[in-house]
Amino acid sequence: MGVAVSPFQIDSRVADFIDKPRKMLIDGKWVNAASGKTFPTYNPATGEVLAQIAEGDRADIDAAVKAARKAFDSGPWSRMTPSERGKLIWKLADLLDEHVEELATLETLDNGKALTIARAADVPLAADMFRYMAGWATKLEGTTIPISVPYTPGAQYLAYTLREPVGVIGQIIPWNFPLLMAAWKLGPALASGCTVVLKPAEQTPLSALRLGELILEAGFPDGVVNIVPGYGETAGAALAAHDAVDKVAFTGSTEVGKLIVHAATGNLKKVSLELGGKSPNVVFKDSDLDTAIAGSASAIFFNHGQCCCAGSRLYVERPVFDRVVDGVAAQAKKIKVGSGLEPETSMGPLVSEEQLQRVCNYLEIGMAEGAKAVSGGKKLGNKGYFVEPTVLVNTKESMKVVQEEIFGPVVAAIPFDDVEELMPRANDTVYGLAAGIWTKDISKAHKVAAGLRAGTVWINCYNIFDAALPFGGYKQSGWGREMGKDVLELYTQTKAVCTRL
């Protein structure tokens, strides 16, 4: 628990990387903040400062946007063939594969997640996203369209569409999957021929900065990817409002998502949003209960519940309610919570002191509203930001812990009697990101999937992601879809060309 992290225990390349103050990447060069300021990033397993980071603000965002603008409008990037772009993105994926251990260790130190998970999931999924998107660079096709134009009788036309890059993209990402969120954002933008200013989360800037080094090593021209760490209220807000940015792509809280929309009104830049969730995970009595129990535990506890799609409302058909709840609570009690660097750790600390306070606050509110914890329910240890994996019962839809996104390892279990009364309750949320269904009745599974207002529905599985599968929200969970071919809609625009023959 809360094992102290000495640089001597970790890979020497990682120790060197965090030893020096990290600069920001603007126009292909590593530079200090214009203000000269830095900010600390912390190791959530110990609460100690891990590294100092250049603190980007309006002036740095402005320099980065200028560099991205130049690279897009007149730089070598705009003249590069789709195939050359695709090869660079593929090369970057290869570099990620070559540096899995180093990137995973940085992720664990900065975010807290278990190294075993960062190594098996975060880094390989990021590489896979770049590789999948590399293939799209050469496949962004328009169409030819036979047009009739009734008011020019006898005239002939050749009409076609071009799919062109949107331009300079501001990308603002959260701390829950720092490297993977950077890959979800950069991959499609680069495949489409856009240029980028990326602002990583203040809590977890390190892996994005190392990715910046790999981007230069891969050979991307200067200014194509600029990375400006800093705070949301300053650097993030300046990027969202910047008049020379053509689009902003944001992942984070619904609250900040609304601020982004406001900030974008100045030049009416395009906006895509991947926001919060309070996803229902539904266990029917006819499911394979052992699989459903293990899957429901992982639906909420994976990544410490710090997933926008976490299965945080567990609806269980009444006859099997006790068995499923006891099963998920038993899994929760077995979870080995500790420093992410320890090989046996399956759950690390939450990302920050603030996040620990937020989760503990929700636990207190839940208990005060009448909920009971059948496992966990409180903070763990005195050092680092650890919290117990928690299963709450005696919960109902009117409670805050059932309505609001906790973003921690806390699930509210609620019984239901039949599908008809379940559906409106499952949909009784401002969010619509994901949902889970556990049943052996395939007909029922697909009917329920059709009735759920969510961007992703998992049947007899949960948290299954693939670069080819679109992901995004209904309702207040967002605008647009990431991954799959759908995401290319967010980074390209259609030009119609019409020629009179």
- Catalogue the active-site residues: 274, 308
Beta strands 48-54 and 38-43 are antiparallel
Q: Which of ligand NAP, Mg ion, none does residue 110 bind to, with CB < 5 to 8 Å depending on kind?
A: Mg ion
Kindly indicate which of the ranges 89-97, 190-198, 234-242, 314-322 contains the residues binding ligand NAP, using the contact rule CB under 6 A: 234-242
Sites for ligand NAP among residues 304-323 (CB under 6 A): 308
- Out of 202, 222, 317, 482, the only residue in the binding site for ligand NAP (CB under 6 A) is 202
What torsion do the CA atoms of 147, 150, 152, 158 make, to the nearest 10 degrees?
A: 0
Number of residues forming the site for ligand NAP (CB under 6 A): 27
**Comparison of 183 and 260: residue with beta carbon closer to ligand NAP:** 260
Q: Which is nearer to ligand NAP, 45 or 238 (CB)?
A: 238
Number of residues lying near Mg ion (CB under 5 A): 4
> Which of ligand NAP, Mg ion, none sits in contact with 41, Cβ below 5 to 8 A by type?
Mg ion
Q: From the CB of residue 437, how many other CB atoms can be counted at a distance below 10 Å?
A: 27
Least Å distance, CB 5 to ligand NAP, is 22
For 284-310, the DSSP string reads -TTS-HHHHHHHHHHHHHGGGG--TT-
Closer CB to Mg ion, residue 50 or residue 93?
Answer: 50
Report the alpha-carbon angle 323-328-332, nearest 5.
Answer: 145
**Which range of residues in 34-42, 75-83, 129-137, 153-161 is near Mg ion by CB under 5 A?**
34-42
Check residue 455 for interaction with ligand NAP (CB under 6 A): no
Is 165 one of the binding residues for ligand NAP (CB under 6 A)?
A: no
DSSP label at residue 360: H
- Burial per residue of 223-240, b for 16 or more beta-carbon CB atoms within 10 angstroms, e otherwise: bbbbbbbbebebbbbbbb
Would you call 148 exposed, middle or buried from its count of C-beta atoms within 10 A (0-12, 13-18, 19+)? exposed
Residue 473 lies near ligand NAP (rule: CB under 6 A):
no
Does residue 57 belong to the site contacting ligand NAP (CB under 6 A)? no
Q: Which two tokens stand for residue 187?
A: 């991959």
**Contact flag: residue 128 with ligand NAP (CB under 6 A):** no
Choose, by CB under 6 A, the member of 125, 259, 332, 411 that binds ligand NAP.
259
Whether 454 and 478 have beta carbons less than 8 Å apart is answered as no
114 near 108, Cβ under 8 Å? yes
Piece of 39-47, 71-79, 382-390, 405-413 that binds Mg ion (CB under 5 A): 39-47
Residue entry with tokens 């899995």: 100
Site for ligand NAP contains 46 (CB under 6 A):
no
Q: Which is nearer to Mg ion, 110 or 405 (CB)?
A: 110
Give least dist CB 446 to Mg ion, A. Answer: 42
Asked whether the CA dihedral 440, 441, 442, 444 is positive or negative, the reply is negative
Q: In the 3-class helix/strand/coil scheme, how is 182-241 assigned residue by residue? A: HHHHHHHHHHCCCEEEEECCCCCCHHHHHHHHHHHHHCCCCCCEEECCECHHHHHHHHHH
Q: Print the SS3 string covering 448-481.
A: HHHHCCCCEEEECCCCCCCCCCCECCCHHHEECC
Element containing residue 388 per DSSP (H, E):
none
Would you give the binding string for Mg ion spanning residues 97-136, x where CB under 5 A is met?
Answer: -------------x--------------------------
- In the complex with ligand NAP, the residue whose CB is nearer, 237 or 380, is 237
- The CA-atom distances, in angstroms, between 38 and each of 35, 53, 230, 235, 405 are 9, 5, 9, 13, 31
Select from ligand NAP, Mg ion, none the partner in contact with residue 42, using the beta carbon and a kind-dependent cut-off of 5 to 8 Å. Answer: Mg ion
Answer yes or no whether residue 251 interacts with ligand NAP by CB under 6 A.
Answer: yes
Q: Which stretch binds ligand NAP (CB under 6 A): 16-24, 85-93, 274-282, 445-453?
A: 274-282
Q: What residues from 328 to 367 belong to the interface with Mg ion (CB under 5 A)? A: none
Instruction: Pick between residue 5 and residue 328 the one whose CB is nearest to Mg ion.
Output: 5
Q: Which does 276 bind (CB under 5 to 8 A by kind): ligand NAP, Mg ion, none?
A: ligand NAP
Q: Contact between 42 and Mg ion (CB under 5 A)?
A: yes
Is residue 444 a contact residue for ligand NAP (CB under 6 A)? no
- Scan residues 335-364 and list those touching ligand NAP (CB under 6 A): 358
- Whose Cβ is closer to ligand NAP: residue 102's or residue 405's? 405
- Looking up tokens 């320890």 gives 342
Q: Give the residue with the Cβ less far from ligand NAP, 95 or 169.
A: 169
The DSSP element (H or E) to which 435 belongs, if any, is strand 434-438
Q: What angle do CA 436, 441, 442 make, to 5 degrees?
A: 75
* Cα 209 to Cα 55: distance, rounded to the nearest angstrom: 13
Binding residues vs ligand NAP (CB under 6 A):
172-176, 199, 201-202, 231-233, 236-237, 240, 251-253, 256, 259-260, 274-276, 308, 358, 405, 407
Binding residues vs Mg ion (CB under 5 A):
41-42, 110, 203
